[in-house]
Amino acid sequence: MKQLMTGNEAIARGVYEGGCHFASAYPGTPSTEILENLIKYKEVKSEWAPNEKVAMEAAIGASIAGGRAFAAMKHVGLNVGADPLFTYAYMGVNGGFVFVSADDPGMHSSQNEQDNRNYAPFAKIAMLEPSNSQECYEMSRDAFELSEKYNTTIMIRTTTRVNHSKSLVKYGERKEVKIKDYNREMGRSRFDAVPALSKKLRIDLEARLKLLAEYSEESPYNFIEWNDKNIGIITSGVSYNYAKEVFGNKASYFKLGFTYPLPLKKIAKFAQEVNTLYVIEELDPYLENQLKAAGISCIGKEKIPNINELTPNIIAEVLLGKKTEIIKVDSKNLIDRPPMLCAGCPHRGFFYELGKVKNIMIASDIGCYGLGGSEPLNAKDTCICMGGSAGTGHGAQTIFNKKEEGKRVVAVMGDSTFFATGLNGVENALYNGSNLITAVLDNRTTAMTGHQENPGTGYTAGGHTTTAIQIEDVVRALGCNNIRTFNPHNLKETKETIQWALNLNEASVIIARYPCALKKYSKEDIEIFGGLNKKYEVDEEICNGCRACTRTGCPAINFSMNNKKSYIDQAQCIGCSVCAQVCPVNAIHEKGE
C-alpha cells in the first residue's frame, strides 16, 4: 500500500507496525503530530504526558515491564527528558524502547536550534536519522527490533523539514509482538540504579557500543551511491536531499542513516576513493568532528554555515560559487505582519491591562501568550524556557527587593505550561517567601501546538473523560492563600485583579480563565462560559478616529485612511467585547443593537 504522508504521519505508522504497545509525548512543534496520529491506532496505548520527563519515564516504565515503548518530543523537550534517559541508557531494555527528538533548525517555532545529534554520543545510545517520509516509516518500524537485539535505547533524530514535508510511503501491516515477561529479580539485577549496579552496567554499556559500531558498518541505512569520484559527499537527514539537488550525478554520496555509532571504517574507504570530500550537515559539525578525529580529511564548516537551516542555494553558493538569482520585490510599501493573538483571544484583555502597569517586569513563557510582547500590547520582558517564568521571575523579584525599588515581577504562564513545569517555579516562590505574582492564563487547552488536552481539561489524548485537575486546588495545596480567578474579557475585573495582586506584599496567583477562541468548546465550556457567538460593529457617526480600539492589537479591527474611522471585520470578530470596553466614546456596540 502507498500513501502520501508527512514525516510525522510516517513515524506514527512505523511505530504502530513495529508492534509498539505504549506511547507517550508532550506536544511541541515539530513533533506534535506523531502522537496525534498514533492515537488513531487502538492497539497502541497513546497518552499526552504533563511534560517530556514524565513522557520519557512512562515509556521507560513500559519498556521495563516488557512492552515495546515509544516517546516523542521536540529538541528542547529532550533537555527535560534527559535525566531518566541517561540512566536508562546504562540499563539496556526489556521491551524495545525508541524515542524521537524533533530538532528545529532555523527556529521556526523554538527558542533555540540546539543540535540534538550530540545527545547520542553523550548518552551512549544508538541514533537513526531519516531524510524522507519513507525512511521515517521504515526506521520507526525497525527500531524496536534493533533496540531489543542490541539491548539499547534508540533515538530517532528528525528536523522540521523531515517532520512536515510529504512524500510517498509504501507501508504494510502491524506486527503483533508478545509482551515480554518481567520479574522482580530482573528489576533488581538490571533496573535499579544504585552505584554498585551502575558500575557494572557502565562496562556493559561500552561493550554494547562496540557491537553497535559493528552493526553500523553493515547497516542498510548507511549506503554509498557511486557517481563521479572527483567529489564525495558525506551527509545525513534532509541535507542529503539538498546535496543531491545541487550536485546530482556530479558527485558520489555516502548517505548516513544510522548516525551513532558511525561506520568509520566504511567512511575511510569511501574517502580514499574520492578526490575532494565534503561533509554537508545542518547546525553543528557532528559528522565532521568524528571524521576528523578518526584522521579522515574533509571539508565542512570551513565553508558550510553552522547557523540556521541549509538550502540548496546556500550549498551551491558556498561550495560551487553559484549564486542563485532571486526575484527582486519592491517591499517598501509592504507592511510587516508578525504573528499576533487571534481575534477574540482571551489573553488580549489581560495583556492590554498588564501592559499599562508601570514599574513591573513581565517574565513570560512558552505558548501563545508569548505574543503578548508584540506591538501594540508590549506586555513581555523575558522568555527562557517552558515553565521558566515563575523560576526566573522569583530570582528577579528577589534582586528587585534587595534594591528596594518597589518593582514587582509578574510571571505569566499558560494552563498546560503550569502543569508541565511551571508549578515547580510557583512552589519555589512560595517556599522561599517571594512576593512574586504568578498569572496563569487558562484557556482550557494546549493551544499553540494545536489544541491538545492537558491535565486540566478533563479529557485524555483519546478524548475520554478523566479527572480535571483544578489549578486553584493545586496552588492552594502548595500553601498559597492569595488566589483569584477572573474573566480576562472583562477589563474592569482584569484591572482590579492585577491591582489586587500588586497591593499584596506576598506571593499570589491570579488565574485568567476563558477558553481559546479557536477551540471547539466542550459541553462543560458551553455550560460555564456560554461561548462567543456575538458580533460587534463601529458606529461611524460616533467614532472620532482616536484609534483606542486598535491598541488592543485585535486583527479584526481595521482603520480606514479614507474616512479616518475604525471598522470591524465581521468575518473575524467573535464578540469578545474588549474593543467596546476600551472605546472612550462608546462607538462600538453589539451588532443589531
Q: For residue range 201-212, list pLDDT tens digits in order.
A: 999 999 999 999
In a shared domain, residues 273 and 357: no
Residues (pLDDT < 50) of the chain are none
In a shared domain, residues 36 and 145: yes
DSSP 37-97: HHTT-TTSEEEE-SSHHHHHHHHHHHHHTT--EEEEEEHHHHHHHHHHHHHHHHH--SS-E
In a shared domain, residues 365 and 506: yes
In a shared domain, residues 13 and 162: yes
The reply to whether 332 falls in a domain is no
The last residue of one of the domains, among 511, 529, 547, is: 529
The reply to whether 557 falls in a domain is yes
- pLDDT tens digits for range 229-254: 999 999 999 999 999 999 999 999 99
| pLDDT attached to residue 374 | 87
Domain CATH number, residue 147: 3.40.50.970
The reply to whether 226 falls in a domain is yes
Q: How many CB atoms lie within 10 A of CB 188?
A: 11
Q: Does the CA dihedral 219-221-222-226 come out positive or negative?
A: positive
In a shared domain, residues 429 and 557: no
In a shared domain, residues 212 and 235: no
Identity of the residue numbered 273: E
Considering the entire predicted model, what is its pTM?
A: 0.92
Q: Which residues are annotated as a binding site for [4Fe-4S] cluster?
A: 543, 546, 549, 554, 573, 576, 579, 583
The last residue of one of the domains, among 286, 320, 354, is: 320
Number of domains in the chain: 4
List the one residue out of 521, 365, 386 whose CA is nearest residue 441. 365
In a shared domain, residues 189 and 201: yes
The last residue of one of the domains, among 481, 514, 529, is: 529
- Adjacency order of strands within the sheet including 154-159: 45-48, 22-25, 69-74, 97-103, 154-159, 126-128, 258-260
- In DSSP terms, 20 is beta-bridged to none
Q: Which residues are annotated as a binding site?
A: 543, 546, 549, 554, 573, 576, 579, 583
CA–CA separation, 426 and 422 (whole Å): 7
| pLDDT attached to residue 68 | 98
Domain CATH number, residue 579: 3.30.70.20
The reply to whether 490 falls in a domain is yes
| DSSP reduced 3-state for 309 | coil
In a shared domain, residues 292 and 148: no
In a shared domain, residues 202 and 250: no
| Residue numbers of the domain that contains 69 | 2-218
Are the C-beta atoms of 118 and 284 separated by less than 8 Å?
yes
The reply to whether 331 falls in a domain is no
